[in-house]
Amino acid sequence: MAEIQIQNVTRTFGRFTAVDDLDLVIEDGTFVALLGPSGCGKSTTMNMLSGLLEPTRGDILFSGEVVNKLKPGDRNIGFVFQNYAIFTHMSAFDNIAFGLKVRKHPAEKIQQEVHEVAQLLGIEEMLDRRTTDLSVNDLQKVAIGRSMITKPGIFLLDEPFSNLDAGFRSYMRAELKKLQRELSQTMIYVTHDQVEAMSMAEKIAIMDRGQLQQYGSPDDVYNRPSNRFVAGFVGSTTMNFLPAMLDHSGDDLVITLPIADSRPVTVHPRGAEDGSDTFTMGIRPEHIELVEPGSSAASLRATVTLLEALGPRNIVHLSSDKFLFRVAVPPTVRPRVGESVGLELDTRRVHVFADESGKALV
Amino acid sequence: MSRIQINGVTKQFGEVTALDAIDLDIADGEFFCVLGPPGAGKTTLLRTIVGLERPEAGRVLIGDTDVTDLVPSARNVSIVFQNLALYPDKTVFDNLAFPLRQGKEKVSSSEIDRRVRETAEILQIVPLLKRRPAHLSGGERQRVAIGRCLVRAPLVYLLDEPLSALDALLRLQMRAELKYLQRDLGRTLVYVTHDQVEAMSMADRICVLDRGHVQQVDTPDEVYNRPVNTFVATTVGMPPMNLVPVRVEGENGRVQLSAASFSLGAALDSRIERIAAHAGQELQIGVRPEDIRVGADAPEAALRCRVIAVEPLGGEAIIDLDLDGKIVKAMTPPDVEYRPDEVIPVAFDLSRIHLFETDGPSVYAADGTSAFAAVP
Amino acid sequence: MRALVTTARALLITLALFIFLFPVYWTVTMAFKPATEWTPTSGKIYWVPDEPTLDNFRRIFGGTPGGSDSFLVSTPINATDSIVNSLVTAIFGSLLALIVGTFTAYGISRYRAGGKMLGFSILQLRMFPPIAVMIPVLFLWTYLQLFDTRLGLILIYGAVTFPFVVWLMKSFLDEVPREISEAAIVDGCTQFGAFRKSVLPLVKGGLATTALFVFILNWSDFLIALVLAGNNVVTAPVFLSQINSAATGQEFGSRAALGVILITPPLLLSILIQKHLVRGLTFGAIKR
């Protein structure tokens, strides 16, 4: 059992609060991503989990036991860092075997286990090579092998793939996910890249400025963001945000946009209002469709300012009454700059955020 | 006026050939992206255009002037380095004014003031003029660096991966801003990057570079849909194009492509002739993830593959499939519910496949028409 | 077990401190002792002067010690000239090393001048104790008529501290990204202009630290000045070693007084640059 409980953990450095009252449960055997911009507190949280830092307040429990004071070496954790911390004077084999040698395992066992791990990672032929002869990509695998060999209950990875080129990165993501499933280890992965978090993690903990913003599955954080920060941070093409005015109509909310000739949008709330006066509407680029400017389906009109042809889809930039939109369209749709189009909003996918708290109402 | 011609430029560092007889013709006012992996020679190319590197062979022309022997300041080009290289001890104003103060002809301080402010307005950094670089955010520094580039009103702008140090979010914003800026300025802009999304999004034309060799120079559309070899095909597009090896057989006026678990056949005609020439050999089918249909979208598919992993990316999902032991990635709408180890039907959109030789060059691109059909 | 380690550590540190600080303490107290207290009389060691006096200081600047009834009768001496000599040779020697060394360091840092070996060779130079070659230098200097001249000392001081300047300045210059000088070149500067306007302002602190460090070295030099200078150019440390009188032999008190004057500038300057000293010395050690 390697369930991790982070109970109201706070970490301050002098007057600066790096982590603020973090409360999180990571179930045994899950792949969790700690996601957030630089400075959000994810690395600090990681350091507290590993034992390099102690929480200023609150407790961290592994399998029900408080480990705040436990030294990193005693916590049975595997680390993989960004700069892979490889021992350059040793061969690949020796690097991977290191943990076992330190624990004085018999030589035959070491041979067997290192080969097993190397096979799993696909680096068997490179075991005898010196680390200075290996490519960046293979070195990363050696680093992972080294942290795996002692069969830790928990794996902590801190942006391990940021030095790798894009193609290999996506390959390693798949490999890591496969590995985690096969070994059923608890894996905690720190990153600022939301694509990585979305593609690998079973649950994502999004942090900003020391505070937990949302903890949920990729589907949750993408389709039901709990606040404006999460909504704007997750998603390969940023969500469109516009100021909005709200009215009630029975149980529903009617959103009016401050754009001339726009039609109000009716939606059903899912969160409670908290007394804010001003609101923001959010909608993702792929939930808007381009239609004829005069069509009845269009909520508003806009003019095309830019076209980005990304390959599998195009992003159309539009402006309407000083507000800027981005709409994702299939690659065959290519409006010309200056064209006037109508925007149809998928009302089931509209979000509304209260400006003061950032919380999502819809 | 600001057309760039690179004729047979070769640059070597000791034993390493960074650029190998490169020929490029960049049109006046073009947003030209140089795309390639680290080590491809992109930065070297940029530095050669600016004049910080002298080529061992070849000439560089800007406008109609041969600038190969001119120092950087005489070429009338500006460059933004990857790490921005702002002068840390000078204010933003002085950073922007620096280029104007170095010229042989004295520029009056009122003129300097005017031009700096003009540039600052274009980039919306007027409130920052008195600050030092250390007190600016990443995005603000980026704009100051671009400002320093603009203030001399050069013929050509060169940018070396300027967005790579920025947060993902900021990068998205800056892409559009840069595109608008270049459009307004109307000058040639050469932009170096390893991020294919940036290149696709902003470029009028992309030059794909690999280890000092130009692979293809074309519009984003061409490079994406008609790549000339596997390198270009897998460099542009994320996730990269899938490559599936097949054996070619040709007889009785038909060509057949066979893999372990599926076969495709086509009648021999002018387009298929080139493929028939490879009969008895192995070729690779190239198919992009978005051109693979799975599950309910491929009901009559004879091919069935095991799901290895599902990556939900929000706007879409990537499904990793096991095809004869190789991983093939398919892109599907986001709300799918496949589990690992499930076996699902898989079909390629045959009007969008490519065929490549094993060492790279393209042999065939379906280009919208399906010449091939599945052979049971 | 832990307590044992801590006590042992504390003892070692105290011992080290003692070894280094005792001579300083002894010198300072000696500087204020009257002649009668310079040597132990009837077994009593004067840990602190019983009758502190400024006589020693007056003595080294020309005054007659003690008065006419003092048992010390000797010709007046004046240390002023020697102090001036020390200042001139140390300042100009340091300047020479700074200028040549900084340009060398720039060449090595920016342009990898001399390949892999030059930087290391220069550093190796300093591992070599200068005194080992002072006799050959003496012959050369005599031949060049630089013996016993300020210029002669300045040149040697410059040469001997040049490796330090290269070593320190290279580490400071390495910190400045090369793109900054390249940006200046693209903006229109010459190579030297780029160095002066874009790089130099950024290493001001390093330059000051290096200058002070090198000054301290040259100011404190005794052996080189002893060998290469005779009667005309006497620097303060050499002068100090020659303060004797027929009556008492070595004049401990007078020597101590000059000594106190001599160690004050290095002490003050070291405190000033202390922070930067550690940074400069350990910089090259960490590979980024």
| CB neighbourhood size of A284 (10 A) | 25
**Do both B304 and B181 map to the same domain?**
no
The range of the structural domain enclosing residue B9 comes to 4-228
Helix runs in chain A, H state only: 42-50, 92-102, 107-121, 136-148, 166-183, 194-200, 218-223, 228-233
Tell whether B122 and B250 lie within a shared domain: no
Fold of A4-232: Rossmann fold (3.40.50)
Q: Do B85 and C189 touch (CB under 8 A)?
A: no
Structure-token match 């493929």, residue found = B275
Residue B6 has pLDDT above 70, yes or no: yes
Q: Does B324 share its domain with B189?
A: no
Question: What is the rounded CA–CA span in Å between residue B247 and residue A30?
Answer: 42
Torsion (CA) B243, B247, B253, B254 in degrees, nearest 10: -50
Write out chain A residues lying below 8 Å of B167, CB-based. Answer: 37-38, 192
* CB of A201 closer than 8 Å to CB of A157: no
pLDDT tens-digit map of C156-210: 999 999 998 998 898 889 888 888 888 888 888 888 888 888 888 888 888 988 9
Percent of chain C with pLDDT over 90: 19
Count: domains in chain B:
2
Closest Cβ opposite residue A236 in set B196, B202, B313: B313
Chain B contact partners (≥3 CB pairs within 8 A)? A, C
Q: Which two tokens stand for residue A9?
A: 């953990």
Quick check: helix, strand or coil at residue C101? helix
Which residues of C are less than 8 Å from B82 in CB distance?
Answer: 179
Q: Provide the ipTM.
A: 0.83
A189 phi/psi in degrees, rounded to 5: -120, 120
Interchain contact C/B (3 or more Cβ pairs less than 8 Å)? yes
Does residue B235 belong to any structural domain of this protein?
A: no
What's the pLDDT score for residue C286? 38
Does the structural domain C81-238 have CATH classification 1.20.1250.20?
no
Dig out the tokens for B215 from the structure: 């692979």
Pair of tokens at residue A37: 């911009």
- Closest residue to C188, CB basis, from B79, B87, B99: B99
- According to the model, what pLDDT value does residue C277 have? 59
Nearest residue in chain C measured CA to CA from B148: C187
Model pLDDT for residues A26-57, shown as the tens digit of each residue? 998 899 999 998 778 888 898 899 888 889 99
All CATH 3.40.50.300 domain ranges in chain A, comma separated: 4-232
Choose among A232, A235, A306: nearest Cβ to B314: A235
What's the first-to-final CA gap in chain C, in angstroms?
A: 38
Instruction: Report chain B residues whose CB lies below 8 A from the CB of A166.
Output: 194-196, 238
Neighbours of chain C (3+ CB pairs under 8 A): B
Domain annotation covers residue B237: no
The domain that holds B134 is classified in CATH as 3.40.50.300
Q: Give the domain-ending residue among B204, B228, B252.
A: B228
**What residues in B contact C179, CB-CB < 8 Å?**
81-85
Is pLDDT above 90 for B32?
A: yes
Domain(s) of CATH 2.40.50.140: residues in chain A: 237-354
> Distances from the Cα of A165 to the Cαs of A83, A130, A168, in angstroms?
14, 22, 6
Q: How many whole angstroms separate alpha carbon B146 and alpha carbon B78?
A: 9
Give the Cβ contact number of residue B176 at 10 Å.
18
Q: Strand order in B354-357's β-sheet?
A: B362-365, B354-357, B282-287, B242-251, B254-258, B263-267, B373-375
Residue C230 at interface with chain B, using a CB cutoff of 8 Å: no
Are B207 and B333 in a shared domain? no
Residue A236 or A337, more confident? A337
Residue type, A241: F
B224 and B248, same domain (yes or no): no
Q: Quick check: helix, strand or coil at residue A316? A: strand
Q: What are the extents of the domains in chain C?
A: 2-53, 81-238
Selecting from A37, A198, A315 the residue whose C-beta is nearest the C-beta of B312 gives: A198
Chain B positions in Cβ-Cβ contact with residue C200 (cut-off 8 Å): none
Residue B85 is nearest to which of C183, C188, C201, comparing CB atoms?
C183
In total, the C-beta contacts within 8 angstroms joining chain B to chain C are: 52
The whole-number pLDDT of residue A85 equals: 65
**Which segment of A121-135, C3-17, C196-210 scores lowest on mean pLDDT?**
A121-135
For residue B293, give the CATH number of its domain: 2.40.50.140
CATH number of A237-354: 2.40.50.140
> Chain B within 8 Å of A330 (Cβ-Cβ)?
no
pLDDT tens profile B301-342:
778 899 988 888 888 899 999 998 888 999 998 888 888 889
Same domain as B332, residue B205? no
Is residue C177 reached through a cis peptide bond, with omega within 30 degrees of 0 on the bond before it? no
User: At A297, is the secondary structure helix, strand, or coil?
Assistant: coil
Q: Closest by alpha carbon to A225, among A293, A283, A175? A: A283
- CA dist A176 to A169, B111, B225, C124, Å? 10, 58, 31, 49
Give the span between the Cα atoms of B203 and C269, in whole angstroms.
58
- The reported pLDDT for the residue numbered B50 is 92
Q: How far is B270 from chain C (nearest CA, A)?
A: 54
Distance of CA C41 to the CA centre of its chain: 35
Task: Give the pLDDT confidence score for residue C70 in this predicted structure.
Answer: 53
Name the CA radius of gyration of chain B, rounded. Answer: 25
Test C183 with B51 for CB contact under 8 angstroms.
no
Per-residue model confidence as pLDDT tens digits over C117-153: 787 788 787 777 888 888 898 999 889 988 888 899 9
| Closest-approach residue (CA) in chain A for B233 | A311
* Span A170-208, pLDDT tens digits: 778 877 887 888 778 889 999 888 888 998 899 999 999
CB neighbour class for C136 (10 Å; exposed up to 12, middle 13-18, buried from 19): exposed
State the pLDDT confidence band at C69, using cuts at 50, 70 and 90.
very low
In angstroms, rounded to a whole number, what is the distance separating the alpha carbons of residues C138 and C152?
Answer: 10
Q: What is the per-residue pLDDT for A297?
A: 81
Mean pLDDT of C269-277: 74
